[in-house]
Amino acid sequence: MYVKFTLYLLIGLAVLYVLFLQFKIYQHSHQEQPDQADYLIILGARVKGEKPSLSLQYRIDAAAEYLLKNEQTIAIASGGQGPDEGISEALAIQRGLVLLGVSEERIYLEDRSTSTYENLQYSKEFIDDSNSKGIVVSNSFHLYRAVLMAEEQGMNVTGLPGKTPKISVVQMHVREYAALTKLYLDLLLK
């Protein structure tokens, strides 16, 4: 009886925890973005050869839409080059933005990073004023963690969601729950 009760309690707590995470993910993917933000950081994602993955293309599309309406905002394309990628994620982002009508002169390349934390850390080098307002662009499932990491690094940001490919919604959310749990533990142990 005691084992059964403990098992149900643990399952119940796990379900509540996942619901909490899902609420935070939803909340951060529905934020209002300020007009004329000082900067926009587009977080990298996989590049297939020289072509952006669907996840990355959705980030590029969301960023371009904002940048074309807010011409004072600079863009920081962020992402290094993995061993199976023909070009850096940053260069793929830049090319995609230019194809959608964003002037190349507004785009800075951060092409050293290998993780979300590094995307933000290295992108900060392009930001003159730590009080400036920025926007982080990623897929909707990833924004909550990205904004938490940016705020932890002293950045004043909101999130701008790109769509999440339907084929990978469940996989990406499960992976994100694990990544958020790791981030929470890292923050607690600091």
Examine residue 81 and state whether it is found in any structural domain, yes or no.
yes
Burial of 35 (0-12, 13-18, 19+ CB in 10 A): exposed
pLDDT at 85: 93
Whether the CB-CB separation of 44 and 80 falls below 8 Å is answered with yes
Q: Where are the beta strands (DSSP E) in 1-99?
A: 39-43, 47-48, 51-52, 74-78
Check whether 190 has a pLDDT greater than 80: no
pLDDT at 90 over 80: yes
Q: Please check whether residue 137 is in contact with residue 160, taking contact to mean a CB–CB distance below 8 angstroms.
A: yes
Instruction: Tell whether 111 is covered by a domain.
Output: yes
pLDDT tier at 93 (50, 70, 90 boundaries)?
A: very high
Q: pLDDT (tens digit, 9 = 90+) per residue, 127-175?
A: 988 789 999 999 999 999 999 999 999 999 999 999 988 888 888 888 9
Q: What is the pLDDT of residue 139?
A: 95
Look at 163 and 67; give whichever has higher pLDDT: 67
Number of domains in the chain: 1
pLDDT at 6: 87
What angle separates helix 89-99 from helix 54-69, to the nearest 10 degrees? Answer: 50
Tokens coding 125 = 């080098």
Distance (Å, whole) CA 186 – CA 173: 20
Encode pLDDT of 47-65 as tens digits: 999 999 999 999 999 999 9
- Where does the pLDDT of residue 116 fall: very low under 50, low under 70, confident under 90, or very high at 90 and above? very high
β partners of residue 66: none
For the stretch 15-55, pLDDT in tens is 999 999 999 999 988 888 999 999 999 999 999 999 999 99
Range of the domain at 171: 28-188
Calculate mean pLDDT across residues 74-90: 95
Residues in a beta bridge with 47: 52
Please compute the mean of the pLDDT values over residues 70-99 and round it to a whole number.
96
Q: Which residues contact 108 (CB under 8 A, 6 or more apart)?
A: 74, 75, 76, 77, 126
Q: What is the pLDDT at residue 168?
A: 80
On the question of pLDDT at 189 being above 90, the answer is no
**Residue at 168: amino acid letter:** S
Q: Examine the pLDDT at 1 and tell me if it is beyond 80.
A: no
Amino acid at 53: S
Could you tell me if residue 23 is inside a domain? no
Task: Write down the pLDDT at residue 75.
Answer: 98
Count Cβ neighbours within 10 Å for each residue of 100-130 and write b for 16 or more, e otherwise. Answer: eebeeebbbbbbbbeebbbbbbbbbeebeee
- The radius of gyration of the chain's CA atoms, rounded to the nearest angstrom, is 18
Does residue 20 sit within a domain?
no
Res 92: pLDDT: 98
Res 174: pLDDT: 87
CATH of residue 147:
3.40.50.620
